[in-house]
Amino acid sequence: MIQPNIPDTDRPRVVIVGGGFGGINLAKALRNAPVQVVLLDRNNYHLFQPLLYQVATAGLEPDSIAFPLRGIFKHQKNLHFRMAEVRGVRRDENVLETNIGDIRYNYLVIATGSNTNFFGNKIIEEHAIGMKSLIEAVQIRNYVLKQFEECLLLKDESEIRPKLNFVMVGGGPTGVELAGAFAELRRYILPKDYPELPLHLMNIYLIEASPRVLAAMSETSSRKTAEGLEHIGVKVMTGTAVKDYDGLNLLLSNGETIQTQSLLWSAGVKGFPISGLPEGVVLPNGRITVNDHNLVEGTTNIYAIGDIGQMLNDPRFPKGYPMVAQVAMQQGKQLGHNIKAGLQGGAFKPFKYKDLGSMATIGRNRAVAEFSGMRLSGYLAWIAWMIVHLLNLMGFRNKLVVFINWFYRYFTYDRGTRIIIKRGAANIVKLRQSVYQSDPSIGL
């Protein structure tokens, strides 16, 4: 029988499920605490998800945005990492069930992040492509490049057009950045790599159900974003929802139909909970109800941070905090401080989110940013976006590689990862289903 083989200890054990932004910052905050930290994740690396779209569009190599978890914590003596898939929790016994055996805990922290939300539409879920994992991003890159290669074998425009119509659903930062990256591919790369390709047949759509893109930002930033996307050839359709998709025909709420074989879904995310929690705490969107200390309702020692936690203690966010990295990072740090204070007999402090701003890049020299009461757009916002993302990347090597890659691309108008690694790229939908439709209790 497989055992987690975690050393016994007389110290309180803090088990963290998930090596994302929340889990990492919590573990770091407990570095010098008199506890044993056990970090679990089904991957052995931390993924910098804000740059996933660049892997999907051949802008970066996968290892540029992933960093080994053991490398992050190689000097933290009180932490033990195990690759594991979480099955559930037995609250009455303080036991976490995993595929490597049962793990006892004194504190359990769920930081499992989120996955793609198709809002219950099973038909669209079957045919659309999500982008929440490194494997999916690489497969999207393979799939897109394979579409270009296959177009060269066709003569009939009616067969070529669906292969060259790329539709992004969701006008948040991911959708905006993905659409901008595809527009740059069409403008700078494809004419050189595929001079025989009929690029006039390639269309890029960004579809958003709400009245404007980047709804979390100001109307000014939203307007400039839409104008910037349209300037580089993206067809922005706001106030339009997706009604149906059969893998070829995309039906929209305005009655229009788009023929496409590439529907990239970034319209929403949902929590990734584990089984065994009190009845009623897991909401329809998969998030877990927590109090202002991130304590799961109905429990005494189980916490949820980041995307998975639904905290309603701020009137600025009546539907809960946004599912972004900054919330997870701040909650991880705060919970770490609270656990240390609790061990010394102190009181837990309620979490207060400090909004550091929002930003999104549209493409070369184009971005929008809002922070500290300032609104930037264009080149300055683009520089700010790059600096923030570089600073938040894990590891000096990754920072250096990404910086050199961006520097090279800026002056050469080139991208260096245009290779199809696996011929089975056409099976991307099946791959996505295997990732997201596995046991929902798995977590990260």
**What confidence tier does 372 reach under pLDDT thresholds 50, 70, 90?**
confident
Using the predicted structure, report yes or no on whether residue 426 has a pLDDT greater than 70.
no
Phi/psi at 121 (5° precision):
-85, 95
Least confident of 90-104, 113-127, 147-161, 351-365: 113-127
3-state secondary structure of 311: strand
Instruction: Judge whether 306 and 113 are in contact, CB under 8 Å.
Output: yes
The owner of tokens 């804000």 is 50
Instruction: Judge whether 351 and 337 are in contact, CB under 8 Å.
Output: no
Instruction: Judge whether 61 and 417 are in contact, CB under 8 Å.
Output: yes
N-to-C CA span, the chain:
22
State percent of the chain over pLDDT 90. 77
Sign of CA dihedral 294, 297, 302, 307: negative
CATH 3.50.50.60 in the chain is located at 13-42+84-116+270-343
- The predicted-structure confidence for 141-183, as pLDDT tens digits, reads as follows 999 999 999 999 999 999 999 999 999 999 999 999 999 999 9
- Has this prediction a pTM greater than 0.85? yes
Q: CA-CA distance, 263 to 245, in Å (whole number)? A: 9
- The predicted-structure confidence for 186-206, as pLDDT tens digits, reads as follows 999 999 999 999 989 999 999
Q: CA-CA distance, 260 to 304, in Å (whole number)? A: 39
Q: What is the pLDDT of residue 422?
A: 63
DSSP 7-41: PP-SSPEEEEE--SHHHHHHHHHTTTSSSEEEEEE
CATH code of 13-42+84-116+270-343, in short, is 3.50.50.60
The owner of tokens 């790329």 is 166
- The predicted-structure confidence for 218-229, as pLDDT tens digits, reads as follows 999 999 999 999
Q: What is the mean pLDDT of residues 290-297?
A: 97
Q: CA-CA distance, 249 to 247, in Å (whole number)? A: 6
DSSP 150-211: HHTT---HHHHHHHHEEEEE--SHHHHHHHHHHHHIIIIIHHHH-TTS-GGG-EEEEEESSS
As a whole number of angstroms, the longest Cα–Cα distance in the chain is: 75
Q: What is the pLDDT of residue 390?
A: 94
Q: What is the pLDDT of residue 439?
A: 42
**What confidence tier does 443 reach under pLDDT thresholds 50, 70, 90?**
very low
Q: What is the pLDDT of residue 421?
A: 77
Using the predicted structure, report yes or no on whether residue 444 has a pLDDT greater than 50.
no
Q: What is the mean pLDDT of residues 49-69?
A: 92
**What confidence tier does 240 reach under pLDDT thresholds 50, 70, 90?**
very high
295-302's contacts with Cβ under 8 Å and 24+ in sequence apart are 296/110, 299/91, 301/94, 301/105, 301/106, 301/107, 301/108, 302/89, 302/91, 302/107, 302/108, 302/109, 302/110, 302/277
| CATH number assigned to the domain with residue range 122-267+357-436, chosen from the 4 options 1.10.3300.10, 3.50.50.100, 3.20.20.450, 3.30.1360.30 | 3.50.50.100
Q: What is the mean pLDDT of residues 253-272?
A: 91
Residues composing the chain: 444
- The predicted-structure confidence for 407-421, as pLDDT tens digits, reads as follows 998 998 887 678 887
Q: What is the pLDDT of residue 434?
A: 47
**What confidence tier does 1 reach under pLDDT thresholds 50, 70, 90?**
low
**What confidence tier does 438 reach under pLDDT thresholds 50, 70, 90?**
very low
Q: What is the mean pLDDT of residues 400-405?
A: 93
- The predicted-structure confidence for 2-58, as pLDDT tens digits, reads as follows 778 999 999 999 999 999 999 999 999 999 999 999 999 999 999 999 999 999 998
Q: Which residue has the higher pLDDT, 292 or 432?
A: 292
Q: CA-CA distance, 53 to 182, in Å (whole number)? A: 10
Q: What is the pLDDT of residue 118?
A: 83
CATH 3.50.50.100 in the chain is located at 122-267+357-436
